Amino acid sequence: MSNMHRLIRNAIIILLLPPFLSLGIEGCASTDKSDPTKFQVIPVSSRDVAALNSDDIIRIMRRAGFSDSQILELGTQVRNAILLSGAVQIKRGNIVEAIFAVKDNNVFITAGLRGTFIYNLEKGTWIRLEALTSQPKQRQVPLQKPPEDQFRSMQPLLRNRSSQD
């Protein structure tokens, strides 16, 4: 092998070595997924997706109980997951802290300590769960007495029948 080939080979190795080393170091230093202090934003497949603006992200994450610093840290990941997948699960260690899922023009939020909420994207307002789950009130119509004439018209038939027996 000539000196020129060795020089080219060594140059290629030197150029490719730093990216591979950085990947190896990053892989070794990655945090454990069960670390109870780290949040994980996990996209979940859903049929509906939505493009949330920053105000929407702040509202839904605050309602779910996240602090401003947590919103700053996780907000972009949550927005991107909802945009691409339609739903997202936020975990801390092995505990699911919150789930956000898009259905039609609403974001359904379930937070471990805060409960379940629905946020309407078109209006930027909260929807009460009772509005979705309550049955419409039945209209109570008072019973009406049939007209007296109707009974009188049936009486001859009843008499004829009893006389035939």
Give the predicted TM-score (pTM) of the model: 0.59
d(CA 103, CA 28): 39
Q: What is the residue-level pLDDT of the chain in tens, covering all 165 positions?
A: 566 655 555 545 554 544 444 444 334 433 455 566 789 999 999 899 999 999 999 999 999 999 999 999 999 999 999 999 999 999 998 899 999 999 989 999 999 888 899 999 999 999 887 655 555 555 555 555 555 555 555 555 555 555 555
d(CA 115, CA 17): 50
Q: What is the predicted pLDDT for the residue at 23?
A: 43
The residues pairing with 50 across neighbouring beta strands, listed in sequence order, are none
* β pairing state of 106-111 and 95-103: antiparallel
Q: What is the DSSP string of 4-67?
A: HHHHHHHHHHHHHHHHHHHHHHHHHTPPPTT-TT-EEEEEEE-S------HHHHHHHHHHTT--
Q: Domain ranges in the chain?
A: 38-133
